[in-house]
Amino acid sequence: MERKNKNLLTFTGPSGSGKSTLARHTSKYGHCNYFEGSAGLTLDEKTASFLQQTYGWQRSGHKEVIHLSETAPGFAYDFQIGLLKARIAKFLQVSEPTVTDRSLVDNIAYAALQAKKYLSDDKWQGFLDLAIKGLNETVEIIIFVPTQNPYTGGIEDNGSRIADWLFQKVASAHFEYAIELIRPHFNGRIHTIRNWDLRDRMDQVESIILGY
């Protein structure tokens, strides 16, 4: 049953697009809770152990997930469906206004990028249906932050992500695709921030918050 009062504002976008910086600013500006939604902090131990034993996943970050998704096709789906279910469970526990730097849209985008070509239509549709149901039960606002980084030195290398501009632009296109997939079915609000200047981005986020 869909909840009437949803408390989550989620940011979504490819790695390195700046969504975590904006999520933390939103939390501070809006005087609300914040939690980081990365896979390492979200996956339950049972799923993490399964991925480690089955595929040799070492929990070292996004770069490893991309590599395993290319070399062990089954990993991509198992990872994304496990993470999707773990995120939904965590989101359902939120009872106060809260901001997080990840969204169920992330799972759709990365499943489309890494796993969809290996899935039957029915399995892909089941994944989408679960993600959309989870969004409608837990999320009020999605803020999409596509890759707008400058080409030269634009992707910060944090040691975990693929710091390659072209790769992140391709990933960003899959996020655009995921947003358009959910748009007709999502009963919350979707906003997109399409600039790179940090102050302009913060101003846009503040305007979104003031609009609610």
What's the pLDDT tens digit per position in 126-180?
A: 999 999 999 999 999 999 999 987 776 667 777 778 878 888 899 999 999 999 9
What residues of the chain score a pLDDT lower than 50? 1-4
Answer for the pair 100, 70: CB distance below 8 angstroms, yes or no. no
Maximum CA pair distance of the chain? Answer: 48
What's the chain's Rg over C-alpha atoms? Answer: 16
Q: What is the DSSP letter of 50?
A: H
d(CA 134, CA 86): 11
Residue 192 structure tokens? 């997109």
Pair type for strands 8-12 and 139-144: parallel
Q: What is the DSSP letter of 116?
A: G
Using alpha carbons only, give the angle 76, 104, 168 rounded to the nearest 5 degrees: 60
Q: Which residue matches tokens 């609000």?
A: 189
| Phi, psi for residue 8 in degrees, rounded to 5 | -100, 135
Answer for the pair 118, 73: CB distance below 8 angstroms, yes or no. yes
